[in-house]
Amino acid sequence: MSSSAAPQPSPQLFFQTINAYQQTEALKAAIELEVFTAIGEGNTTAAEIATRCKAAERGTRVLCDFLCIMGFLTKDGNRYSNTPDSAMFLDKRSPAYLGGATEFIAAETLTNNFKNFAEVVRNGGSLDTDGGTVSPDNPIWVKFARAMAPMMALPAMLLAKLVDPAADRQLNILDIAAGHGLYGIEFAKKNSQASVVALDWPNVLEVAKENARTAGVSDRYSTIAGSAFDVDYGSGYDLVLLTNFLHHFDPPTNEVLLRNVHAALAEGGRAITLEFIPNDDRITPPEGAAFSVTMLGSTPGGDAYTFRELEQMLANAGFSRSELHQLPPSIQRVVISQK
Amino acid sequence: MSSSAAPQPSPQLFFQTINAYQQTEALKAAIELEVFTAIGEGNTTAAEIATRCKAAERGTRVLCDFLCIMGFLTKDGNRYSNTPDSAMFLDKRSPAYLGGATEFIAAETLTNNFKNFAEVVRNGGSLDTDGGTVSPDNPIWVKFARAMAPMMALPAMLLAKLVDPAADRQLNILDIAAGHGLYGIEFAKKNSQASVVALDWPNVLEVAKENARTAGVSDRYSTIAGSAFDVDYGSGYDLVLLTNFLHHFDPPTNEVLLRNVHAALAEGGRAITLEFIPNDDRITPPEGAAFSVTMLGSTPGGDAYTFRELEQMLANAGFSRSELHQLPPSIQRVVISQK
């Protein structure tokens, strides 16, 4: 009878995973058709949702059942409801709506990297000979800046609170690869003595400047257009922000950049690195650790670095001390490094 | 303090799902590179696996970590191991190896159906104007017959045991859309008085005949080439097998077919329907219920039918009584219907 303790081998995970792409496509379709918004508005049967979404009832019913199976909806009899998460993040009428992020995360520029993934693994990095997503002036970053901003509002608030809790002194901030600019802007919103220099490609900086205007901090917001590896940063900064940037490059490349960051900081200044940072085992926490796959597919040498690896790069660049911080409920983590 | 009981809303499921396609591509890559076989052979570090799989170490390390996160491998220090399921189903040297099934399940003919899934939902079925996978003589079914046979060995054994437990009397069997033929062949292997007529497209029947030869039952194996909707079945059958066939068509189409099945059976004969059969809620069990999405994408009118729906079609076609049976550990179920 002892064999009853060992679970029978099952091909379940194989099937589920080989069909996992259907989950991505079904979620994209539901966002595009505004299924979550339709349900939030009170359309709850497949027939009602189909009418509101201008789709066939058969298609809508099958899609909504699949959304239940995946955990985005619940079903009672023939009536569907949004889960609290779907109501918050996927109903267009919610201020925390994230559906637009699919414009970046699910853009073909990114997903095409996975079409011949065996070859990517053989090659050890992106097959895109132009350098993947980190090629100069890649228009994907304008898309990023626009699509991902809603997702960044919360971590930006958490980061400013962690790094500048008192918000009562002058802070000169350099925001490298600012993108939407929200990380730097949040410091300026919280602290009237903070001023921000945002660095990014010229087309991306237009988005950041727009967001600075909306936040009412334009008078303390200036920009440097160009590559973070080429331009002159200036000097005397109290903070240099490196948010979701180092994961695109290999360690030697990052060390070159970090030496320039070190030089641009005033005495006592700090480099602030926000990243997906897996534990040393590289497989936990799962969400952060899995990000290394996105980097393998889309960059020549990037990775989701462990804290030890980041600490080493920062030490090699001259930083005296680095500390790891959590940023709950965000799954990203922060390294604060002292000049 | 009551709010602490309610979990904080999280975009976790959204991110996980929007990136789920990476799981499919990573698993396909691991099978193509023979990662599970390499580990089974004793290559356990990223460097050893990379050498064996002729891939970059960086790519191999990131892929193997992702396979750990997904549950296909375990990791101890820097050494990877196959899970019992991976060793059984994904190591090429295992007799139960299923990796070849990706040739069908992950074939572009199928996956392309999901590329514009919002439009499929609007349309209420496959956008393929030739009729999707059920178009006449579609070569996908030869691929199916070859790739899926290893997966069918177990359910075929379970089905023969359920339907013909004594295996001690004459059985004339019609196997409709026989594919690899394994379901009919298993009856013939178990019962020396069973003879099988297999019906399918001519190119597919070549695979079934090959399998009948291998099983040593060729002398009791004959074929009818053509469409199950057009050919003359003959008559006097004790069993008609409908394995994974009805899900491709809408109920009226199935009823036409089932009337022909009813007419071809001898008095007291039985129709045996093996299917993904969700419960009436259409969302449990999840694996069977999710199959409706594959049918929405790849057929004009197919579905994963509930037992009630199948029972109704069978009753409309003249069957006096249908009974639902489980087939553990298979996730498929069986309906046995009496003429």
What's the whole-number average pLDDT of chain B? 93
Q: Does B65 touch chain A (CB under 8 A)?
A: yes
Q: What's the burial of B287, exposed, middle or buried (CB within 10 Å: 0-12/13-18/19+)? A: middle
Q: Where residue B4 falls among pLDDT bands split at 50, 70, 90? A: very low
3-state secondary structure B176-193: ECCCCCHHHHHHHHHCCC
Question: What pLDDT, on the 0 to 100 scale, is given for residue B6?
Answer: 54
Its pTM stands at 0.92
| Residues of A in Cβ contact (< 8 Å) with B85 | 9-14
Identify the pLDDT of residue B7: 65
User: What is the pLDDT confidence band of residue B2, given thresholds at 50, 70 and 90?
Assistant: very low
A 122-151 residues with CB < 8 A to B: 122-125, 151
> Which of A14, A36, A75 to mutate against chain B (most B CBs within 10 Å)?
A14
CB nearest to A29's CB, from B8, B20, B117? B117
Cα–Cα–Cα angle for B206, B209, B215, rounded to 5 degrees: 145
pLDDT tens string for chain A (339 positions)?
334 445 678 888 999 999 999 999 999 999 999 999 999 999 999 999 999 999 999 999 999 999 999 999 999 999 999 999 999 999 999 988 999 889 888 888 889 889 899 999 999 998 887 766 667 677 888 888 888 888 888 899 999 999 999 999 999 999 999 999 999 999 999 999 999 999 999 999 999 999 999 999 999 999 999 999 999 999 999 999 999 999 999 999 999 999 999 999 999 999 999 999 999 999 999 989 999 999 999 999 999 999 999 999 999 999 999 999 999 888 899 999 999
Cross-chain CB nearest to A122 (options B55, B101, B151): B55
- Buried b vs exposed e over B10-46: b needs ≥16 C-beta within 10 Å? ebebbbbbbbbbbbbbbbbbbbbbbbbbbbbeebbbb
Residue B315 contacts A, CB cutoff 8 Å? no
Q: What is the pLDDT of residues B101-127, one digit of tens each?
A: 898 888 888 898 898 999 999 999 988
Find chain B residues with C-beta within 8 A of A16's C-beta.
287
B270 has which bridge partners?
Answer: B239, B338
DSSP-derived letter for residue A136 is T
Considering only residues 144 to 183 of chain A, which have any Cβ-Cβ distance to chain B shorter than 8 Å?
A: 151
Cβ of B22 within 8 Å of Cβ of A55? The answer is no
Both structure tokens of B242: 């409908």
Comparing CA positions, the residue from B91, B129, B137, B33 lying closest to residue A122 is B33
Task: Give the confidence band of B128 by pLDDT, cuts at 50, 70, 90.
Answer: confident
Query: Which residues on chain A are in Cβ contact (under 8 Å) with B3?
Result: none
User: Who has greater pLDDT, B137 or A329?
Assistant: A329
* Interface contact A22-B69, CB threshold 8 A: no
More confident residue, B309 or B10: B309
B5 has a pLDDT exceeding 50: no
Give the number of residues written for chain A: 339
- The mean of the pLDDT values for chain A is 93
Render pLDDT for B253-269 as a digit per residue (tens, 0 to 9). 999 999 999 999 999 99
Amino acid at A317: A
pLDDT at A195: 98
CB contact under 8 A, A120 and B59: yes
- C-alpha span between A267 and A265 (Å, rounded): 7
Q: Which residues of B touch A101 (CB under 8 A)?
A: 18
* pLDDT tens per residue across span B202-253: 999 999 999 999 999 999 999 999 999 999 999 999 999 999 999 999 999 9
Is any Cβ of chain A less than 8 angstroms from the Cβ of B328?
A: no
The ipTM is: 0.93
Interface test with A, best of B21, B27, B287 (most A CBs within 10 A): B21
In terms of C-beta density within 10 A (0-12 exposed, 13-18 middle, 19 or more buried), how is residue A210 classed?
Answer: middle
CA of A233, closest CA in chain B: separation in Å? 32
Collapse the DSSP code of A118 into the 3-class scheme (helix H, G, I; strand E, B; otherwise coil) and give the result.
helix
Give the dihedral sign, CA B107/B112/B115/B121: negative
Percent of chain A that is helix, strand, coil (3-state, to 5)? 50, 15, 35
Interface list for B 272-291 with A (CB within 8 A): 281-283, 286-287, 289-290
Check if the beta carbon of residue A90 is closer than 8 Å to that of residue A27: no
DSSP B83: -
CA of B64, closest CA in chain A: separation in Å?
10
Measured between beta carbons, the chain A residues lying within 8 angstroms of B9 are 84-85, 88-89, 96
Angstrom distance (rounded) from CA A187 to CA A179: 15
- Residue closest to B205 by CA, chosen among B176, B232, B233: B176
Among chain B residues, the shortest Cα distance to A98 is held by B11
Would you place residue B319 in the very low, low, confident or very high pLDDT band (cuts 50, 70, 90)? very high
Of the ranges A68-72, B8-12, B326-330, which one carries the lowest mean pLDDT score?
B8-12
Q: What is the pLDDT of residue B253?
A: 97
| Nearest CB neighbour to B21, from listed A16, A114, A121 | A114
Token pair of A63, please? 């899609």
Query: How many CB atoms are closer than 10 A to CB A298?
Result: 23
pLDDT at position A1 is: 35
pLDDT computed for residue B151 by the predictor: 83
Q: Is pLDDT above 90 for B135?
A: no
The answer to whether B293 faces chain A, any CB pair under 8 Å, is yes
> B18-63 pLDDT, tens per residue?
999 999 999 999 999 999 999 999 999 999 999 999 999 999 999 9
Q: CB-based contacts of B134: which residues, under 8 Å, 6+ apart?
A: B248, B249, B299, B300, B302
Instruction: Say whether B85 and A13 touch across the interface (CB within 8 A).
Output: yes
How many angstroms away from the CA of A140 is the closest CA of chain B? 17
Q: How far is A123 from chain B (nearest CA, A)?
A: 6
Do the chains contact at A20 and B15, CB–CB below 8 Å? no
Question: Which residues of chain B make contact with A27, given a CB cutoff of 8 A?
Answer: 14, 17-18
What are the residues whose beta carbons fall under 8 Å from the beta carbon of B197, sequence distance 6 or more? B172, B173, B174, B175, B222, B223, B224, B234, B237
pLDDT of residue A3: 41
How far does Cα B43 stand from its chain's mean position?
32
| Probe site for chain B from A17, A32, A60, A294 (most B CB atoms < 10 A) | A17
Q: How many A-B residue pairs are in contact by the CB < 8 A criterion?
A: 245
Testing the interface with A: which of B25, B27, B54 to mutate, by most A Cβ within 10 A? B25
Instruction: Please judge whether B56 and A125 are an interchain contact, meaning their C-beta atoms are less than 8 angstroms apart.
Output: yes
Q: What tokens appear for A248 in the block?
A: 């695109």
pLDDT of residue A96: 87
- Structure-block tokens of residue B33: 């590179």
Q: Which residue of A has its CA nearest to B124?
A: A59
